[in-house]
Structure 1
């Protein structure tokens, strides 16, 4: 009788072990790459998966988007400026079979490829482009990575450059350059203003020269403005034609 109970117990243990080795449950975002005696036999999931114990093995693959931080990379720009650049990489597996069979560790491989591609792409651009055209650089890096990881069944959806770190000397040089640029713009704007003012004065002079009475009115307006300031000194403008008249008489007297 005792031997019968022991036999039933052993059988129950064997059944439990068999079921635990045969039954797999995959979540909605998981897939199972199944190998039968070492050979690939298919991709299964999600849901309940039944395997033949000791004959079939399964590798779980997560299909969700993976976010990886690309470590800071030393990059020398095309204009010979040394900077440190780091980025964020977004990718996901679209073909579990290739992700498991074609590459040993797709996570490490993608991360290393992202580092080398980041250095390669940014090294072809100048510092100003790194600082002002990040969207275009992100797109270029993403396209290159997506093309190279396609053989691994991986889709690179986005790459974002986070920081571009400069040394103190370069920061001071950029600040001086920006200050010089602002001064140049200020001088150009001032010169344009002087040029426009001179053109308007020439135009006004031509109009006033056509009507001598208009010049007299300008004289009176100037005197009115001076009188309104309560100044003890009054400067009275003398018409140029009067001065030229006296200058002509003096020349004749000689």
Structure 2
């Protein structure tokens, strides 16, 4: 006689406990009453009607998703492996629950297919040099496709481009040749500037013969500082002839 009320009391307590939910600041609850969507609640204390109402919890924080390496064939027919990272968050919890079965898995699959599709439109050099533009294009495409799910793509970043070994060698040779080309250009520019300055100096000296003599004496003075050098003084034939006549 006394067991039935006790059982009912336990059931009532369990129902009350299960009907009380506490949602954190970054959580929202999508409420269903008898299977029909009734609204979004939270954060804070949520009380559900026992048996009649159910809640699906949705996290509103930013998700960080690693996109596994994808085999990509570039526009110039080079096969590479590319991985990326996607940052996204749920902006409308109701759509994230009602419009797609698993928004995280769906976003992951969409990111993989979009990565292969977008990168296939670029040549290898463009892929390596225009990462910012490619990241922006990936974000725009993903964001437009996840918008019906209430998901906002915050950013997409390519992490690593894995090149074939032979392509790495070819790029290394190309980079070395480019460095040599730039070094030769810099050296040629230096020679040209030096020649230009010498030409200007010679024109100035030609206007004043005394300047040449002063420069000549300065050079002799510099040579004389090193005692190991043998100094030969150049003299004209006329001076030598005059010397012997005396």
TM-score with structure 2 length normalisation? 0.85
Deviates more, 1:203-212 or 1:181-190: 203-212
* Equivalent residue, structure 2, for 1:205: 202
Runs of 4+ in 1 over 6 A off after TM superposition: none
Are 2:168 and 1:171 equivalent residues in the alignment?
A: yes
Among 70, 94, 107, the alignment partner of 1:110 is: 107
1:108 deviates by 0.9
Could you say what secondary structure the match of 2:65 adopts? strand
1:21 deviates by 4.4
TM-score with structure 1 length normalisation? 0.83
- Alpha-carbon separation, structure 2, partners of 1:220 and 1:103: 92
- Cα RMSD after superposing both structures: 2.3
1:203 deviates by 1.6
* Equivalent residue, structure 1, for 2:89: 92
* Equivalent residue, structure 2, for 1:36: 33
Deviates more, 1:22-31 or 1:112-121: 22-31
Are 2:174 and 1:181 equivalent residues in the alignment?
A: no
* Equivalent residue, structure 1, for 2:23: 26
Paired residues of 1:223 and 1:236 also in contact (CA < 8 A): no
Among 144, 148, 167, the alignment partner of 1:147 is: 144
Counting matched residue pairs gives 238
CA shift in 2, pair 1:48/1:233, >3 Å: closer
CA shift in 2, pair 1:192/1:232, >3 Å: closer
